Chains A and B, each alone.
Chain A
Amino acid sequence: MGGYSGQELTAIFVMQGFSGLSLFCVFLLMALGLAIIFGQMGVINMAHGEFLTLGAYITWLISELASTSPWLQQVYFPFAIVAAFAGAFLLGYIVERVMISRLYHRPLDTLLATWGLGLILQQIYRSTFGPREVSVGMPDWLMGSWAVNDMIDIPLNGLFVMAVTLIMTVGVVSMMYRSRWGIKLRATTQNRLMANAAGINTKRVDRFTFALGCGIAGVAGAAFTTIASTGPTTGSLYIVDTFLVVVFGGAASLLGTVVSAFGIAQSQSILEFFLSGSMAKVITLLVVVGILMFRPQGLFASKVRR
């Protein structure tokens, strides 16, 4: 890096760190819902990306409604996030009731069934909203950047996604480890029979858990409208990466998910800086798979007997 001043290099270092952090937040937000569903319930939800897309489209619909008045335009976004959560939660609840609940003993089959669900949802989005991408109108406070000094610009939408990620992560962790539902969920995960015997309605726990995971995907969809595109196939762009994050972290461990999202995001981001984009992605994926070959249970293996 010859020919650049120290100040320039510091600025790039800061911004590069930040862009790694935003990628981390994207991964984490996506993986959180999956980690709950896959990690806790052992269900593979291949339609997870489509729940994200649902959240994005709900946000878009509300932004269209809000575009009628400049005042609404400024304040609608938090409401859109709540609506995205509610919409995805509801759909998740229905899907669990109709489909997933019959397949708990056949995890590989849930994978196929949810893949089919994903296909159907994608085509429904395409028929309803059209095949073209839509643009979500952003409030002013989400556009542009925060100029820390002459050299450093921090993207506001990145900060926003980070804030959403932080809130969701703290929310999920406190629910898992500080609420009655969390106790029930962990009891069910650890020993379904015993949990049942102890009077926990494990079916209701399952239903709520699945719906919650989908709801979080909806929030991720709403948040991602600020940084990327919204179209029928938006969600499927993220799905393989996200599964890798969860598996790499160790399925049953939330901490593992956080650490692996951070590791993958930072290494990809740094490699992108020094290499070309395509190569960075391949190298990151290869390293992840390589590590998984030696440590198949993931970074943070759960000690739980299942």
Chain B
Amino acid sequence: MHDSTRKTPAWKRHLLAVALGTGLGFAGAAGAADHPTEKVSTTGLAVNDDTVKVGILHSITGTMAISETGSVEAEKLAIEQINAMGGVLGRKIEVIQEDGASDWPTFAEKSRKLLTQDKVAAVFGCWTSASRKAVLPVFEKENGLLYYPTFYEGLEQSKNVIYTGQEATQQNLAGLDWIAKEKDAKTYYLVGSDYIWPRTSNKIARKHIENVLGGEVIGEEYYPLGNTNFGSLINKIRLKKPDVVYASIVGGSNVAWWKQLKAAGITPERQTIVTISVTEDEVLGIGGENIAGYYSSMKYFQSLENDNNQAFVKAFKARWGEDSVIGDVTQAAYLGPWLWKAAVEKAGSFDVDAVAAASADIELETAPEGYVKVHENHHLWSKLRMGQWKADGQAEVVYESELIEPNPFPEGYQ
């Protein structure tokens, strides 16, 4: 792995993390004896008297490994903590990890393997929309259960998926409302990488700006994924002088975009920029000094000041090294195993149908982001926060909304 600062031996860190986890105050689990295997698993899942198997399916090789590493770490941490507390229905969780290799058909192939060969009870995984779209038919056909951590474009709802990140209306509307008021913004410039999530997010943003905020969108454009030259775009922004630039540029392009903005003499004082695609993970590559002063619209920041989050950050760093950072998606990935545990215990069964049915209205008081609750549509009620970046790579939360109801199929935004 990459950081050189890990001086504590792995087992020690492990123990520490686990100890911190048990200190979080989650309710202990009932013993396996109360839940005989033939009762909690009637569909041939990989459950026995001692263990239950789950899958983790992320890219650890290829271009998406950059983004998905944090999710894998968070999911493993949550599972270790759950195991240290006695597991789920008295059974330890065993992880089968597969590599999606940043390749959508591989995701589909591996998810089919996890479901039909390994018979896992749940899968925590996927990151990009494309990988989720590729595995969705597999999960629906084989009746699996997927916990999907990324904020995404919405327009989707499935019995077999629990979306632990925000859908587009949750992530966009409240933030736009705030920025419009705070900066008295009238004109907006929408930019993004060229794929479905930025385009859908911008579509929703545009409708909201035009119909609700009474503002004007004076530019909307997309650059190919991996583009590293934003000179022309920056010049256009200087010429048109929008009150707010609303950005959803992802991946390697992100770094180029922020560095070139700074180099072009654009400063947060002269130009307000709100992005919906930068978390603490991305800031590592961008460099805090290049993005300081601009805003991110997210549901979670590492700097959140509440007890849950402080315990989580401490456990995460103890497990994965002091240098680790935690972004929005990492936190959402961490929720997955806990939500699954809660649903299994509520249902008293590992069977996918029972767990999926029990998932609605599951509440998690102990989530690092604060309180979350699963909606009937399998998305989470969550808050929206505006973080203003600082040079040290952390964000200062300058605005926090009320709990927002997830609405993956928004009326009037289609």
Contacts and interface: CB of A to CB of B under 8 A. Distances in A.
Interface of A: 4, 8, 12, 15-16, 18-20, 22-23, 26, 123, 126, 128-138, 143-145, 147, 153, 155-158, 224, 226-234, 237-238, 268-270, 272-273, 276-278, 280-281
B259 A157 contact: yes
Given A131-B60, A135-B284, A227 B239 contact: no
B2 A272 contact: no
Given A155-B265, A231-B252, A278 B194 contact: yes
A229 B256 contact: yes
B285 A134 contact: yes
Which secondary structure dominates where chain B touches chain A?
A: helix
Contact of B239 (A8, A19, A224, A237): A8
A143 B265 CA distance: 9
Given A133-B285, A229-B252, 9 more contacts: A4-B239, A126-B65, A132-B69, A143-B289, A145-B263, A155-B263, A155-B265, A157-B263, A228-B259
Contacts of A136: 287
Contacts of B221: 276-277
A18 B224 CA distance: 22
A247 to B, nearest CB: 20
Contacts of A269: 229, 231-232
Given A144-B263, A155-B264, A227 B228 contact: yes
Nearest to B194: A278
A133 B255 contact: yes
Interface residues of B, number: 44
Given A126-B61, A135-B287, A277-B194, A23 B263 contact: no
B66 interface: yes
A228 B235 contact: no
B1 A227 contact: no
B262 A144 contact: yes
Nearest to B290: A135
Interface of B: 1-3, 60-61, 63, 65-66, 69, 194, 221-224, 226-229, 231-236, 238-239, 252-256, 259-260, 262-265, 281, 284-287, 289-290
A135 B260 contact: no
Contacts of B231: 15-16, 18-20, 22-23, 158, 269, 272
Nearest to B70: A132
A59 to B, nearest CB: 14
A200 B229 CA distance: 43
Contacts of B253: 229
A18 B281 CA distance: 32
Contacts of A233: 63, 252
B66 A131 contact: yes
B222 A123 contact: no
A94 B382 CA distance: 55
Nearest to B220: A276
A277 B229 CA distance: 10
A131 B69 contact: yes
Contacts of B66: 131-133, 231
Contacts of A133: 66, 252, 255, 284-285
B414 to A, nearest CB: 22
A135 B1 CA distance: 17
A232 B23 CA distance: 38
A213 to B, nearest CB: 22
Contacts of A19: 229, 231-232, 234-235
A143 B60 contact: no
A130 B1 contact: yes
Contacts of B234: 19
Given A133-B66, A229-B254, A277-B194, A237 B262 contact: no
30 contacts: A12-B239, A15-B264, A23-B231, A126-B65, A130-B1, A131-B66, A132-B284, A133-B255, A134-B284, A135-B255, A135-B286, A135-B287, A136-B287, A143-B263, A144-B265, A145-B265, A155-B263, A157-B260, A158-B263, A227-B260, A228-B252, A229-B228, A229-B285, A230-B255, A231-B66, A268-B229, A270-B232, A276-B222, A277-B222, A277-B224
Of all A-B residue pairs in the complex, the 8 with the closest CB atoms, nearest first, are A19-B231, A130-B2, A133-B285, A229-B255, A153-B265, A145-B265, A277-B223, A155-B263
A12 B238 contact: yes
A160 B263 CA distance: 11
A269 to B, nearest CB: 5
Contacts of B263: 143-145, 155-158, 226-227
A155 B235 CA distance: 12
Contacts of A15: 231, 235, 238, 264
Contacts of B229: 19, 22-23, 26, 268-269
**Chain B CB within 10 Å — which of A23, A129, A158, A231 has the most?**
A231
Contacts of A277: 194, 221-224, 227, 232-233
Nearest to B393: A135
B192 to A, nearest CB: 10
B293 to A, nearest CB: 14
A273 B262 CA distance: 19
B224 A278 contact: yes
A237 B2 contact: no
A26 B231 CA distance: 12
Nearest to B221: A276
Contacts of B63: 233
Contacts of A131: 2, 60, 65-66, 69
A242 B264 CA distance: 25
Contacts of A18: 231
A270 B12 CA distance: 57
Contact of A281 (B60, B224, B262, B289): B224
Contacts of B259: 157, 226-228
Contact of B233 (A147, A232, A272): A272
Nearest to A23: B229
B133 to A, nearest CB: 20
Nearest to A4: B239
Contacts of B290: 135
Contacts of A153: 264-265
A143 B262 contact: yes
Contact of B2 (A132, A144, A234): A132
